[in-house]
């Protein structure tokens, strides 16, 4: 029996060892400036970063059958292959005109007296190297001018994986402006690949190509039998016709040895100018260039992209390489495309005050699994202090605070790209708008106006546009704090879970007003009023999903009032301290939110302390305090993501959003990461 067990273990040992071996392995070369990447023990590519080339690259790159799909020149020339464009090496990312400097065409072939016209992407360091089902390599680089001054700081993640026999590279690159930067509409960009001779389109006529600095390259007609490649894009165009045309993906393909090789590039929906134009030439240059427009077709608008100092832009591309008897089928391409814009991702919109020259709304790709975000784009909206997304996620209504007055604007959401297209704007009759909400059954927008102590009601049209104000309800009265409660200050307008009532918290009068919502979305102007404790200063109110309980954060007293709800009536059952700082002064408590499962209530304090306070919700709706969490400065706003796994805290005075993981068992919060965003004050998501 022991003998049998021994032989069984011998039989099992290789499979155990194999199971423990990562699928993708990255090994840094001890002698040469490169990291070797292999999949299932077979060499895939090298991350290659010597000082002798003007940018870090992936070179060479192989298909799953071992065939090298990149040109050898200029590092290891192959007999018979073209030797044009010495800057075309492997797979790279740079651009032809950044503040007038040409990063794309720089190489050893540029004479010294011309070097001042060119930029260099200098590798700095590897920041992460990880083996596994997906291998990852992250690095930092600087985009420098001829004097070594840095225009852009680059951070890039390269993810390597195998998907159903196809070898995949996912590249995410963020460029942070160290000075004001302009990417000028230029054909030479952005993600480039120089393919092997076999994948060229056969050249039947001599062609000249001139770069931005007037350097001419001639591609002569050839009669060789090696070049047999072609292009196909997502719109069905083939061959040279794909050049300069916008498409979600483009594929180069051809015979190499006994197999068909397919090289697929996929643009990500969140990239600038999606879908990208393709700078794909028959002589073997295969490039995706979202920063080109008019240069490809004079009928297109000029697309100059500017970044202020401190602003950034992120690009994501997928490169998929297959070797088989046939080229990739459309079904496989669609699967690779869908996987790339995975369902784990959603869009996050961060609104901010714009007194620091920031755009107003910044859009991020947010990963629901990791809580990490990548910058997508920005939208100029002055003082975007609050916003609401319609349930169908087609429209966003954004408050603009300016000069104490304000407006509400309607935007159409481009769900694939995260862009916001302005539809129209309506002025708010009241002053100091601070909250916006939406009544889905009647498609009505409500704004709470702090300075004028009022509510404004707007109907919307089928295209999402706002009609002029339908109603304007002004409150009256005051309360005990002469400096803060000298008149009404409407601070929120919240629609009840059953869509029957609008609840308005009035900080200035210590009243929560309940208005009946009519079928057309208008409100009955005479409100049912609930008077809370004098000096509380009620700010925001939230309801549980069933509508059986409501929770109100009192800004001035730093407490939470808990109410049972019956047929719209609020009956207080508990008051609990949120801010433990002992002071008669204004506590400045801020936001309040329930976790998606309704088991936790969180509130923020932002004047006497900078905290998020965690309460457990009991079965009877009452609260038990569990934790005080120190957070970023002046957390005016925070929110759970829809999974309840993460809490995002907007620090108005610290210019950052903190991302905390949230333990749904203990209620503890753990800081995971931060996003640098000037004056953030609100956050919204769409799938």
- In SS3 terms, 152-219 reads as EEEEEEEEEEEECCEEEEEEEEEEEECCCEEECCCCCEEEEEEECHHHCCCCCCCEEEECCCCCEEEE
For residue 487, what pLDDT band results from cuts at 50, 70 and 90? very high
**Taking 60 as the threshold, does the pLDDT of residue 8 lie above it?**
no
Quick one: DSSP state of residue 633? S
Q: Quote the CA–CA distance of 286 and 442 in Å, as a whole number.
A: 51
Residue with tokens 């602003």: 311
Residue 272 has a pLDDT of: 85
What are the strands of the beta sheet with 373-380, ordered from one edge?
373-380, 360-367, 345-352, 680-686
Which of 40, 85, 100, 101 is closest to 66 using CA atoms?
A: 40
Residue 403 has a pLDDT of: 62
In a domain? residue 31: yes
Residue 298 has a pLDDT of: 94
Note the pLDDT tens digit of each residue in 392-441: 999 999 998 766 678 999 999 998 889 999 999 999 998 999 999 999 99
Which of 388, 312, 378 is closest to 639 using CA atoms?
A: 388
Q: Are 551 and 560 in contact (CB under 8 A)?
A: yes
Residue 219 has a pLDDT of: 57
**Taking 70 as the threshold, does the pLDDT of residue 70 lie above it?**
yes
In a domain? residue 106: yes
Which of 447, 472, 308, 323 is closest to 385 using CA atoms?
A: 447
Which of 511, 518, 476 is closest to 492 using CA atoms?
A: 511
In a domain? residue 144: yes
Q: Quote the CA–CA distance of 608 and 631 in Å, as a whole number.
A: 13
For residue 646, what pLDDT band results from cuts at 50, 70 and 90? very high
Backbone phi, then psi, for 339, in 5-degree steps? -60, -35
Residue with tokens 């947010």: 366
Residue 11 has a pLDDT of: 39
In a domain? residue 533: no
The neighbour count for residue 613, using CB atoms within 10 Å, is 26
Q: Are 481 and 466 in contact (CB under 8 A)?
A: no
Q: Are 358 and 380 in contact (CB under 8 A)?
A: no
For residue 165, what pLDDT band results from cuts at 50, 70 and 90? very high
The neighbour count for residue 370, using CB atoms within 10 Å, is 14
Residue 404 has a pLDDT of: 64
What are the strands of the beta sheet with 466-474, ordered from one edge?
433-439, 444-449, 454-460, 466-474
Mean pLDDT, range 198-209, rounded to an integer? 75
Q: Quote the CA–CA distance of 539 and 510 in Å, as a whole number.
A: 9
In a domain? residue 402: no
In a domain? residue 403: no
For residue 665, what pLDDT band results from cuts at 50, 70 and 90? confident
Q: Are 443 and 421 in contact (CB under 8 A)?
A: no
Note the pLDDT tens digit of each residue in 568-583: 999 999 999 999 888 8
Which of 666, 135, 655 is closest to 352 using CA atoms?
A: 655
Map 320-359 to HEC letters.
EEEEECCCCCHHHHHHHHHHHCCCCEEEEEEEECCCCCCC
Quick one: DSSP state of residue 276? P
Rounded to a whole number of angstroms, the distance between the first and last alpha carbons of the chain is 58
Can you state the percent helix, strand and coil of the chain, rounding each to 5?
5, 50, 45
Residue 67's domain comprises 23-340
- Measured at the CA of 438, the angle between CA 416 and CA 350, to 5 degrees, comes to 50
* Element housing 249 (H / E): strand 249-256
For residue 344, what pLDDT band results from cuts at 50, 70 and 90? confident
Which of 676, 595, 607 is closest to 638 using CA atoms?
A: 595
Residue 388 burial class via C-beta count within 10 angstroms: exposed 0-12, middle 13-18, buried 19 and up: buried
Mean pLDDT, range 12-19, rounded to an integer? 36
- Measured at the CA of 74, the angle between CA 73 and CA 75, to 5 degrees, comes to 100
**Taking 70 as the threshold, does the pLDDT of residue 562 lie above it?**
yes
Q: What is the DSSP string of 403-414?
A: TTEEEEEEEEE-
* Residue 445, both tokens: 């927008």
* Residue 55, both tokens: 């940018």
Note the pLDDT tens digit of each residue in 277-333: 999 999 999 999 999 999 999 999 999 999 988 888 889 999 999 999 999 999 999
Which of 676, 684, 650, 681 is closest to 155 using CA atoms?
A: 676
Q: Are 186 and 212 in contact (CB under 8 A)?
A: yes
Q: Which of 30-44, 148-162, 361-375, 596-610 has the lowest mean pLDDT?
A: 361-375
| Spatial CB neighbours of 150, under 8 Å, sequence gap ≥ 6 | 142, 143, 144, 178
Q: Which residues of 557-571 are buried (b: 16+ CB within 10 A; e: fewer)?
A: bbbbbbbbbeeeebe
In a domain? residue 357: no
Higher pLDDT, 585 or 136: 136
Q: Quote the CA–CA distance of 237 and 521 in Å, as a whole number.
A: 49
Residue 312 has a pLDDT of: 84
Q: Quote the CA–CA distance of 145 and 106 in Å, as a whole number.
A: 11
Using DSSP, state whether 222 is helix, strand or coil: coil
Q: Are 97 and 76 in contact (CB under 8 A)?
A: no
- Look at the chain and report how many structural domains it folds into: 1
In a domain? residue 684: no
**Taking 50 as the threshold, does the pLDDT of residue 566 lie above it?**
yes
Q: Quote the CA–CA distance of 686 and 415 in Å, as a whole number.
A: 8
Note the pLDDT tens digit of each residue in 253-283: 999 999 999 999 999 988 888 899 999 999 9
- Measured at the CA of 268, the angle between CA 299 and CA 343, to 5 degrees, comes to 140
Residue 222 has a pLDDT of: 55
Q: Are 264 and 319 in contact (CB under 8 A)?
A: yes
Q: What is the DSSP string of 38-99?
A: EETTEEEEEEE--TTSSS-EEEEEB-TTS-B-B--TTTS--TTS----TT--SEEEEES-BT
Mean pLDDT, range 357-366, rounded to an integer? 93
Note the pLDDT tens digit of each residue in 541-561: 999 999 999 999 999 999 999
**Taking 90 as the threshold, does the pLDDT of residue 626 lie above it?**
yes
For residue 223, what pLDDT band results from cuts at 50, 70 and 90? low
Percent of the chain having pLDDT more than 70? 93
**Taking 90 as the threshold, does the pLDDT of residue 220 lie above it?**
no
The size of the chain, in residues, is 687
Q: Looking at residue 234, which CATH number applies to its domain?
A: 2.70.98
What are the strands of the beta sheet with 646-651, ordered from one edge?
637-640, 646-651, 656-662, 669-676
* Residue 682, both tokens: 């609100």
- pTM, 2 dp: 0.65
* Residue 661, both tokens: 């993981």
**Taking 90 as the threshold, does the pLDDT of residue 18 lie above it?**
no
């Amino acid at each position: 029996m022991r003998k049998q067990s021994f032989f069984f273990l011998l039989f099992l040992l290789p499979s155990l060892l194999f199971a423990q071996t990562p699928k993708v392995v990255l090994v840094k070369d001890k002698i040469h400036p490169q990291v070797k990447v292999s999949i299932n023990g077979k060499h895939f590519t090298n991350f290659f970063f010597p000082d002798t080339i003007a940018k870090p690259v992936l070179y060479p790159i192989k298909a799953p059958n071992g065939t090298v799909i990149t040109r050898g020149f200029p590092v290891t020339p192959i007999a018979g292959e073209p030797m044009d464009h010495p800057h075309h090496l492997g797979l790279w990312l740079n651009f032809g005109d950044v503040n007038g400097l040409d990063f794309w065409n720089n190489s050893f072939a540029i004479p010294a007296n011309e070097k001042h016209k060119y930029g260099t992407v200098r590798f700095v360091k590897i920041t992460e190297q990880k083996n596994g089902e997906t291998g990852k390599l992250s690095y930092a680089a600087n985009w420098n001018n001829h004097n070594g001054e840095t225009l852009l700081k680059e951070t890039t993640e390269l993810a390597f994986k195998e998907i159903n026999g196809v070898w995949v590279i996912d590249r995410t690159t963020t460029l942070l402006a160290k000075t004001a930067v302009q990417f000028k509409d230029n054909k030479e960009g952005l993600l480039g690949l120089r393919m092997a001779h076999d994948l060229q389109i056969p050249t039947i006529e001599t062609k000249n190509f001139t770069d931005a600095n007037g350097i001419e390259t001639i591609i002569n007609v050839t009669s060789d039998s090696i070049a047999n490649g072609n292009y196909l894009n997502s719109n069905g165009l083939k061959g040279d016709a794909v050049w300069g045309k916008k498409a979600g993906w483009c594929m180069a393909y051809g015979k190499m040895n006994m197999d068909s090789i397919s090289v697929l590039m996929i643009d990500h929906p969140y990239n600038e100018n999606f879908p990208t134009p393709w700078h794909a030439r028959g002589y073997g240059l295969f490039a995706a260039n979202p920063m080109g427009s008019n240069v490809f077709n004079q009928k297109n608008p000029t697309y100059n992209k500017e970044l202020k100092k401190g602003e950034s832009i992120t690009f994501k591309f997928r490169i998929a390489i297959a070797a088989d008897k046939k080229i990739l089928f459309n079904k496989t391409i669609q699967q690779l495309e869908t996987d790339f814009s995975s369902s784990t991702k959603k869009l996050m919109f961060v609104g901010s005050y714009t007194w620091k020259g920031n755009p107003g709304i910044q859009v991020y790709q947010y990963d629901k699994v990791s809580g990490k975000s990548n910058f997508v784009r920005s939208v100029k909206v002055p003082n975007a202090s609050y916003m609401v997304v319609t349930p169908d996620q087609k429209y966003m209504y954004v408050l603009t605070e300016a000069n104490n007055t304000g407006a509400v604007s309607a935007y159409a959401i481009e769900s694939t790209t995260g862009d916001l297209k302005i539809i129209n704007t309506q002025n708010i009759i009241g002053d100091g708008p601070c909250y916006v909400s939406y009544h889905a059954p009647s498609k009505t927008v409500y704004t709470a106006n702090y300075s004028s102590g009022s509510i404004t009601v707007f109907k919307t049209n089928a295209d999402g546009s706002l009609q002029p104000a339908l109603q304007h309800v002004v409150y009256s009265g005051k309360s005990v704090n002469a400096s803060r409660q000298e008149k009404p200050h409407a601070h929120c307008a919240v629609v009840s879970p059953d869509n029957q009532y609008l609840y308005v918290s009035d900080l200035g009068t210590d009243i929560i007003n309940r208005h009946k919502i009519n079928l057309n979305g208008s409100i009955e102007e005479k409100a049912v009023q609930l008077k809370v404790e004098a000096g509380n200063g009620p700010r925001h109110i939230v309801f549980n999903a069933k509508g059986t309980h409501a929770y109100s954060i009192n800004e001035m007293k730093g407490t939470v009032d808990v109410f049972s709800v019956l047929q719209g009536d609020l009956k207080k059952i508990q008051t609990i301290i949120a801010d433990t700082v002992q002071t008669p002064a204004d506590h400045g408590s801020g936001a309040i939110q329930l976790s998606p499962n309704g088991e936790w209530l969180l509130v923020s304090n932002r004047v006497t302390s900078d905290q998020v306070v965690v309460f457990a919700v009991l079965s009877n709706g009452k609260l038990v305090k569990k934790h005080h969490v120190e957070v970023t400065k002046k957390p005016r706003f925070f929110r759970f993501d829809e999974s309840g796994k993460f809490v995002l805290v907007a620090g108005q005075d610290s210019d950052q959003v903190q991302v905390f993981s949230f333990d749904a068992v203990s209620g503890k919060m753990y800081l995971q990461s931060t996003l640098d965003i000037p004056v953030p004050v609100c956050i919204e998501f769409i799938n």
